Amino acid sequence: MDSAIETHGLTKRYADIAAVDGLTLSLPRGGVIGFVGPNGAGKTTTIRMLMGLVRPTSGEGFVLGKPITHPRAYLSKVGALIESPAFVPQLSGRRNLHVLALLGGHDVKRVDPILEQVGLGPRGEDPYHSYSLGMKQRLGIGAALLPDPDLFVLDEPTNGLDPAGIREVRSLLRSLGDAGKTVFVSSHLLAEVQRMCDQLVILRKGKLIFQGTVEDLLAKQVGLVATPEDPAQHDALVRLCEDAGHHAEDQHGSVLVHAPASWAATLNQKAMSAGIVLRELRPQAGDLEETVLNMTGRGTL
């Protein structure tokens, strides 16, 4: 088993509600893998099951080839930031990392360089409760770096960071992925996911709706966007495209035609012949945010 993470029918039910419903995944080792879905899609529950915090109702999972029923076998090689960072409020950032280093049996000499790496060196002695949200997030990422892991599991690592901080974290995660580590990162910032991830896993209502490369996903959404001058001709335009053998659907009042860009001239001609004046006709570039929203519904991501 050479997957970083593998699950077969992984399910977690709370009473009658399936937080994660029959999730089957196989994520390769190395690179950055984005984990996206609307709130309540089951991302955090999945991460908690992978980290041994929550027991699955059914199904099985493996992390770095070891079953999730024995987290001891793999957690020493996993760095995690689950949901939001949580540390002892009265202890300094340095002491908090020191506690985790002692507990995990990691070299405590790693604490200071890691604090520097996440930009907390000068504030390392300050109590955790005095940290801003962004600083707390950095300390959480620092804690994930402590074991020098093969796999990072990070839940919203850029939450609360300013644009410069987001860029730093993106660069850090990308460099870890390029260095052969596996980074499994959930995020609501789809532009960031698009920039840094090689692969994507998309959940909706506890179920997997996509797993593959970002390019594969975007390719599904490439097409033409046509907007009739007269909104009343919208449905006629859709029918025209469908009759020509290209699936068409509404996109915010325009028509998204699933056809290659080369069909634009034909479409223009056919529309003219049918008496439909087009105000706009352009190829649609692949946009992750739009694509994911279309796939998961228009809820809050």
With CB under 8 A as the contact rule, the residue among 40, 91, 207, 234 that binds another protein is: 91
The smaller minimum CB distance to another protein, of residues 56 and 223, is found at: 56
- 22 burial via Cβ count (<10 Å: 0-12, 13-18, 19+): middle
Q: How far is the CB of 66 from another protein (least distance, A)?
A: 11
131 binds another protein (CB under 8 A): no
SS3 assignment, position 176: helix
Q: How far apart are CA 122 and CA 218, in angstroms?
A: 42
Touching another protein, residues 20-49 (CB under 8 A): 48
Residue 204 engages another protein in binding (rule: CB under 8 A): no
Residues contacting another protein: total by CB under 8 A: 32
Binding status of residue 143 toward another protein by CB under 8 A: yes
Tokens of 267: 């479409």
Nearer to another protein, 55 or 247 (CB): 55
Residue 279 makes contact with another protein by CB under 8 A = no
Q: Does 147 bind another protein (CB under 8 A)?
A: yes
Q: Considering only 75-83, 220-228, 239-247, 290-298, which stretch makes contact with another protein by CB under 8 A?
A: 75-83
Q: Which is nearer to another protein, 35 or 152 (CB)?
A: 152
The CB density around residue 133, as the number of other CB atoms within 10 Å, is 13
Kindly indicate which of the ranges 87-95, 165-173, 210-218, 250-258 contains the residues binding another protein, using the contact rule CB under 8 A: 87-95
Please report whether residue 141 would count as binding another protein according to CB under 8 A: no
Kindly state whether residue 17 participates in binding another protein, applying the rule CB under 8 A: no
Per CB under 8 A, contacts with another protein among 51-70 are 51-55
Q: Do residues 176 and 185 touch, judged by C-beta distance below 8 A?
A: no
Torsion of CA 56, 51, 45, 159, to 10 degrees: 180
Q: Which of 105, 163, 245, 275 binds another protein (CB under 8 A)?
A: 105
Does residue 100 bind another protein (CB under 8 A)? yes
Q: Enter the tokens of residue 109.
A: 């000499």
User: Quick check: helix, strand or coil at residue 24?
Assistant: strand
Q: What are phi and psi of 215, to 5 degrees?
A: -60, -45
Residue 182 near residue 29, CB atoms below 8 Å: yes
Amino acid in the structure at residue 122: P
Distance CA 71, CA 74 (A): 6
Q: How far is CA 17 from CA 9, 97, 205, 278, in A?
A: 16, 37, 10, 47
**Residues at the site binding another protein, with contacts judged by CB under 8 A:** 48, 51-55, 71-72, 75, 78, 80, 82-91, 95, 98-100, 102-105, 143, 146-147
